[in-house]
Amino acid sequence: QVDTHIHAAACMNQKHLLRFIKHTYQTEPDRIVAEKKGKKMTLKQVFESLHMDPYDLTVDSLDVHAGRQTFHRFDKFNSKYNPVGASELRDLYLKTENYIGGEYFARMVKEVARELEESKYQYTEPRLSIYGRSPDEWLNLAKWFIKHKVYSPNMRWIIQVPRIYDIFRSKNILPSFGKMLENIFVPLFEATINPKDHKELHLFLKYVTGFDSVDDESKHSGHMFSDKSLNPDLWTSEKNPPYSYYLYYMYVNIMLLNNLRNFLFRPHCGEAGSITHLVSAFLTADNISHGLLLKKSPVLQYLYYLAQIPIAMSPLSNNSLFLEYSKNPLREFLHKGLRVSLSTDDPMQFHYTKEALMEEYAIAAQVWKLSTCDLCEIARNSVLQSGLSDKEKQKFLGVNYCKEGPEGNDIRKTNVAQIRMAFRYETLCNELSFLSDAMRTEEISTLSK
Amino acid sequence: QVDTHIHAAACMNQKHLLRFIKHTYQTEPDRIVAEKKGKKMTLKQVFESLHMDPYDLTVDSLDVHAGRQTFHRFDKFNSKYNPVGASELRDLYLKTENYIGGEYFARMVKEVARELEESKYQYTEPRLSIYGRSPDEWLNLAKWFIKHKVYSPNMRWIIQVPRIYDIFRSKNILPSFGKMLENIFVPLFEATINPKDHKELHLFLKYVTGFDSVDDESKHSGHMFSDKSLNPDLWTSEKNPPYSYYLYYMYVNIMLLNNLRNFLFRPHCGEAGSITHLVSAFLTADNISHGLLLKKSPVLQYLYYLAQIPIAMSPLSNNSLFLEYSKNPLREFLHKGLRVSLSTDDPMQFHYTKEALMEEYAIAAQVWKLSTCDLCEIARNSVLQSGLSDKEKQKFLGVNYCKEGPEGNDIRKTNVAQIRMAFRYETLCNELSFLSDAMRTEEISTLSK
């Protein structure tokens, strides 16, 4: 099984983070870890400045876990990324760029990786952020990755781009949306065309399999994207472009890049906000994260079914933020034949055990009484929609995994019953032929007129 | 938190058992591990005789996990204790008495213990069986415990007595119910009165904190326990005595023993069958496991509330066997102020992650949107009702934990809000004074007549 949607900055659970903080405080209190207004600070001083004693910290005072108070409050949820509410600790422990070169964050990610490697069949696709504030971000991220040897055979990396142009623009960090796109994509073209001059980035990109577009979807933009919309270079206002604009320009750039390499586009979509986001992603995405709002649009649901666009769902995340578990449409989507997988989103905020993905499967299995076959189908979907290589997919799903229907299923590897595969295949074929018949009839009746 | 109800033979999860089986097969295939009809068999031969290759085993073919097919079928559930449906493997891997002296079972239990010790604050109270077939059982169990050093600071042992006299009687292993009681209790009196002559049992008993009475409660006995019922020595028929009879005679013997030591009586009760079981346990038990059927009797529920009899509930177990998760009364009981704790029952059958108890808490928290305060109250209850020593309870709950109300709560240790403690205390006091007032009014009105 692959955790198809997880943010690196929240890939450890709260207890893990707590222990790590305590451990660093015990072992290296006098290490200089930050600089504030030109003054260097030791770890001890950082905690003193926050009036905090790490010995007294508990998972509760750490306060990174989502609860009832975050339901329908994405703003409150976002602040949960700050341990004990202190952005200083987020910078120190959960960022790749800081005084210690993101060492603490790298160490925790590697601890998570070691546990995955031990469990053998668990893979994960953590998201790392590129903001587009400056063209150096890529190189810094690549250096962090290489310096701390963050590589793990059980991890494939995805780059998430937060849709927060408006914040950078209002702080005058960016002159236009075009500049943001430039900062995000130009370094990639350069490193791809001329790898020798960009060795670090070139190496890092080997482990990056795709892009995600992230932020609170319920924030509404007044603008309606059309052929009259301004070009990115001319988009200089402080207003944030709409979701569709972001998706289109990311898509275009990724497609261009894909003449030279092979990135997937896997945006967050349909977690909240307008259902039109699902239209944008239908036209541009390889697969999406969440897709919750397909619940509200039978037509879009049908389109996602026909096109078999994979959906990485995170019902525990939804349960804390947008939709109660029992109302989550995952089960219905699965039974209808949509290509859903289970993912954790943010183990730090939502999960209790060390095995966050297994916990996600466990709860789904218990609440919805999913059968072994259901669970295995979900796991198979997760491998299919992941950024794992062709070779790895062959290893986990069988050599013919690309073929459709039961032929593509190696039951000894997937444990999905052939009758299930046959049912899915026949149902889809029937649906498609029903549609093409309907179209033909229409053509004929038009002709006969 | 303490896992207040868990069976030792199912305390590892399915993946753990699978890995252990594979590991033994890889490392010692030629070891003699069993004897069948006088013929010694190596591990390899055992698997050959079952036409099985451990390399092909998966968690699915292992088939120890409960699923939809076990709902309302306790018989099918019981057979899940047999890996791959083979009782030979149960004997070899999950029993304390077999050709290898229960070594495999001991090793797995110890692996579970190591993980608990590492997680620091997780304790568990596994049940080991004493059947009452022969007086040697105790000594054998004690020897197993000592030989394999099964001791762990994070485990307290409970002895479960299955209510299956009828099976032993029909096989002529026992002449009467009295003999069964004798086999169970006489060795305890002897070892308690004369520890020097029973060193092993005496040592083992230091870590045993109580008794459980187990079996399928939905099996009905025609007999109605009363003062006309036969004495145990005269109960020689093949009919199984009723639940109340078992409970009464276990209770009497434990009370006698408790003149000399301090065992708790913590029977399974109210999982299924007649609600009168809850009456028997109300009169005899220190606390009970399950208590599900209190849902059906407001009067008994009220009595359990007034007496604050602790209830170790296992909603995931119930979900697979008797009652869907969403209908489980745990949340309602908790909110009413009954002393509920969360327990796993059988991680091998019901859980997916390595942290079974945490998984149990996670699902309850997610499905019922329990607050941190709720979870901490449940955890506090679990420590209170456990067999941990006074000293340990002081360590986890605060030195005044025996006092009632907020006074007994050390929030720095329990993280239960004082306002919650005050609410519980006031509500209970009000309820009790309401009752005593009512009784007094009745007395007065009787007098005035």
Chain B hits for A354, Cβ within 8 Å: 353-355
Query: In the A/B pair of chains, how many CB contacts fall below 8 A?
Result: 71
Which chain A residue is nearest to residue B70, measuring alpha carbons?
A369
Query: What pLDDT shows up at residue A446?
Result: 78
Chain B hits for A58, Cβ within 8 Å: 415
CA gap A6, B64 in Å, rounded: 31
CB contact under 8 A, B352 and A365: yes
Question: Which residue in A330, A366, A367, A374 has the most chain B C-beta atoms within 10 A of its own C-beta, making it the best mutation to test that interface?
Answer: A366
Strand order of the β-sheet with B288-290 is: B268-269, B288-290, B311-313, B340-342
Cα B41 from chain centre? 34
Query: What pLDDT shows up at residue A114?
Result: 95
**Would you call B96 helix, strand, or coil by DSSP?**
coil
DSSP for residue A155: B
Q: Among partner residues A68, A353, A361, which is closest to B369 by beta-carbon distance?
A: A68
**Would you call A214 helix, strand, or coil by DSSP?**
strand
Q: Among partner residues B326, B358, B362, which is closest to A326 by beta-carbon distance?
A: B326
DSSP run (H or E) holding A445: helix A418-448
DSSP for residue A63: -
Q: Among partner residues B352, B369, B371, which is closest to A362 by beta-carbon distance?
A: B352
Reply yes or no on whether the pLDDT at A67 is more than 90. Answer: no
pLDDT band for position A78 (50/70/90)?
confident
Average pLDDT, whole number, for chain B?
Answer: 94
CB contact under 8 A, B353 and A359: yes
Chain B hits for A366, Cβ within 8 Å: 316, 319, 325, 363
Q: What percent of chain A has pLDDT over 90?
A: 86
Query: What pLDDT shows up at residue A63?
Result: 87
Residues A148-167: pLDDT tens digits?
999 999 999 999 999 999 99
Question: Which residue in B72, B359, B416 has the most chain A C-beta atoms within 10 A of its own C-beta, making it the best mutation to test that interface?
Answer: B359
Q: What is the mean pLDDT of residues A228-236?
A: 95
Residues B367-409: pLDDT tens digits?
999 999 999 999 999 999 999 999 999 999 999 999 999 999 9
Which of these is catalytic: A5, A7, A198, A290? A290
DSSP for residue A240: P
Reply yes or no on whether the pLDDT at B195 is more than 80. Answer: yes
CB contact under 8 A, B354 and A355: yes
Reply yes or no on whether the pLDDT at B443 is more than 90. Answer: no
H-only helix segments in A233-389: 243-257, 276-284, 298-306, 315-321, 330-336, 347-350, 356-368, 372-385
The encoded tokens of residue B429 equal 């006091």
Reply yes or no on whether the pLDDT at A79 is more than 70. Answer: yes
Reply yes or no on whether the pLDDT at A437 is more than 80. Answer: yes
Q: Is B208 left (phi over 0), alpha (psi -120 to 50) or beta?
A: beta
Query: What pLDDT shows up at residue B375?
Result: 96
Reply yes or no on whether the pLDDT at A448 is more than 80. Answer: no
Query: What pLDDT shows up at residue B77?
Result: 83
**Would you call B19 helix, strand, or coil by DSSP?**
helix
**What pairing do the DSSP bridges indicate for beta strands A39-42 and A32-36?**
antiparallel
Chain B hits for A70, Cβ within 8 Å: none
Reply yes or no on whether the pLDDT at A442 is more than 80. Answer: no
- The DSSP annotation for B225-258 comes to -STTSPPGGG--SSSPPPHHHHHHHHHHHHHHHT
pLDDT band for position A449 (50/70/90)?
low
Own/partner pairs for A165-173, CB < 8 Å, 24+ apart? A165/A132, A165/A240, A165/A241, A166/A238, A166/A239, A166/A240, A168/A131, A168/A132, A168/A133, A169/A236, A169/A237, A169/A238, A170/A238, A173/A133, A173/A134
Residues B29-50: pLDDT tens digits?
999 999 988 899 999 999 999 9
Cβ contact A413:A377 at 8 Å: no
CB contact under 8 A, B353 and A358: yes
Question: pTM of the prediction?
Answer: 0.91
Query: What pLDDT shows up at residue B1?
Result: 93
CA gap A171, A238 in Å, rounded: 9
Query: What pLDDT shows up at residue B449?
Result: 67
Which chain B residue is nearest to residue A361, measuring alpha carbons?
B352
Q: Is A57 left (phi over 0), alpha (psi -120 to 50) or beta?
A: beta
Residues A11-47: pLDDT tens digits?
999 999 999 999 999 999 999 999 988 899 999 999 9
Question: Which residue in A122, A358, A373, A414 has the most chain B C-beta atoms within 10 A of its own C-beta, making it the best mutation to test that interface?
Answer: A358
CA gap A8, A95 in Å, rounded: 10
Chain B hits for A116, Cβ within 8 Å: none
Cβ contact B292:B278 at 8 Å: no
**Would you call B47 helix, strand, or coil by DSSP?**
helix
Query: What pLDDT shows up at residue A194?
Result: 96
Cβ-based burial of A438 (10 A; exposed 0-12, middle 13-18, buried ≥19): exposed
H-only helix segments in A210-266: 243-257
CB contact under 8 A, A372 and B68: no
Query: What pLDDT shows up at residue B291?
Result: 96
Average pLDDT, whole number, for chain A?
Answer: 94
CB contact under 8 A, B415 and A363: no
Cβ contact A135:A186 at 8 Å: yes
Q: What percent of chain B has pLDDT over 70?
A: 100
The encoded tokens of residue A295 equal 């619940």
Residues A372-403: pLDDT tens digits?
999 999 999 999 999 999 999 999 999 999 99
Q: What is the dihedral of CA A87, A88, A93, A96, to 10 degrees?
A: 80
CB contact under 8 A, A67 and B367: no
State how far the alpha carbon of B63 is from the alpha carbons of B83, B88, B346, B426, in Å: 6, 14, 14, 49
Chain A hits for B319, Cβ within 8 Å: 366, 369
Which chain A residue is nearest to residue B413, measuring alpha carbons?
A58
Q: What is the mean pLDDT of residues A108-119?
A: 94
Residues B416-431: pLDDT tens digits?
999 999 999 999 999 9
Greater confidence (B52 vs A300) lies with A300
* Nearest alpha-carbon partner for A286 in A157, A385, A166: A385
State how far the alpha carbon of B66 is from the alpha carbons of A408, A415, B347, in Å: 29, 17, 10
Q: Which amino acid is at B368?
A: W
Count of other CB atoms within 10 angstroms of residue A134: 15
Q: Among partner residues B326, B362, B367, which is closest to A353 by beta-carbon distance?
A: B362
Enter the ipTM.
0.86
CB contact under 8 A, B353 and A351: no
Chain B hits for A353, Cβ within 8 Å: 353-355, 358-359, 362
Cβ contact A280:A291 at 8 Å: no
